């Protein structure tokens, strides 16, 4: 079975920033919340990187897709074409859904149709949902990692700092943060499935 562990990072589009008057050099405290909101919608934000690890082989190095958003999306769908399982934290309601929506905006046809049906763990395995068994307890990756004694990917950077880092030209740091998210998610997945490798065939 071919598993794709993934995570994306997003920032507001220039258009959404302009429409909301957020192109000034200094970001005020009340603007930070708006920036966060803009970053989470595919209508107002764009993908700046997708980090992924495709297994087997087990514990392979995490890779990054970066560049123009259309290039990132096209490259992702090429990778996704023959994967059997997609694993991520909040991947069902955010990462994969966001990729799909931005694909529509750019008129990039996905290489496959992924069902977004709930209460199932294939071909999309959402570690956030699987931890709560589809309940209301939505633990963050940081919280869940710490509970499972897995190194937290949020120690030096978290989602609230992605846009300021992007604005400062620190894309390399954002990508490293995104890669750490993938690594932590992979370890959480193995704990949740009681496996040391890619897991049983779906």
In contact, 153 and 115? CB cutoff 8 Å: no
Range list of H helices, the chain: 14-19, 29-39, 69-80, 96-105, 127-132, 141-147, 162-167, 171-193
Q: Is residue 86 part of a domain?
A: yes
> What pLDDT score does 183 carry?
96
- What does pTM read for this prediction? 0.91
Tokens 């009681």, residue located: 194
Tell me the CATH number at 139. Answer: 3.30.420.10
Q: Is residue 199 part of a domain?
A: no
Q: Is residue 39 part of a domain?
A: yes
Q: Is residue 202 part of a domain?
A: no
> What pLDDT score does 120 carry?
94
> What pLDDT score does 199 carry?
47
In contact, 91 and 9? CB cutoff 8 Å: no
> What pLDDT score does 184 carry?
95
Q: Is residue 45 part of a domain?
A: yes
The pair of three-digit structure tokens given for residue 53, joined into one six-digit string: 């690890």
Q: Is residue 201 part of a domain?
A: no
99 CB burial (10 A radius; 0-12, 13-18, 19+): buried
Number of folded domains in the chain?
A: 1
> What pLDDT score does 200 carry?
45
Domain that holds residue 154: 3-193
> What pLDDT score does 25 carry?
52
Which distant-in-sequence residues (6+ apart) come within 8 Å of 20 by Cβ?
34, 38
**Dist. CA 65–CA 9, nearest whole Å:** 11
In contact, 145 and 173? CB cutoff 8 Å: no
Mean pLDDT computed over every residue of the chain: 90
The tens digit of pLDDT for each residue in 113-144 reads 999 999 999 999 999 999 999 998 899 999 99
Q: What is the mean pLDDT for each group of 10 consecutive residues in the chain (202 residues)?
A: 96 88 58 82 96 95 98 98 97 97 98 94 97 92 93 76 91 95 96 74 42
Tokens 């920033």, residue located: 17
> What pLDDT score does 33 carry?
78
């Amino acid at each position: 079975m071919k598993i794709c562990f993934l995570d994306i990072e997003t920032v507001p589009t220039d258009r959404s920033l302009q429409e909301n008057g957020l192109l000034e050099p200094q970001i005020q405290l009340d603007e930070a919340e708006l920036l966060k909101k803009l970053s989470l919608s595919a209508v107002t934000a764009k993908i700046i990187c997708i980090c992924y690890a495709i297994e087997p082989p087990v514990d392979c190095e995490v890779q990054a897709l970066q560049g123009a958003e259309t290039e990132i999306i096209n490259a992702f769908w090429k990778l996704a074409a023959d994967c059997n399982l997609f694993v991520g934290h909040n991947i069902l309601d955010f990462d994969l859904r966001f990729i799909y929506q931005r694909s529509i905006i750019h008129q990039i046809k996905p290489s496959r149709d992924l069902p977004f049906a709930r209460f199932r763990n294939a071909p999309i395995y959402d570690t956030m949902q699987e931890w709560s068994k589809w309940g209301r307890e939505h633990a963050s990756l940081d919280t869940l990692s710490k509970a499972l004694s897995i190194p937290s990917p949020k120690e030096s950077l978290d989602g609230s700092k992605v846009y300021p880092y992007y604005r400062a030209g620190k894309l390399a740091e954002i990508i490293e943060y995104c890669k750490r998210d993938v690594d932590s998610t992979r370890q959480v997945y193995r704990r949740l499935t009681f496996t040391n490798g890619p897991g049983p065939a779906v």
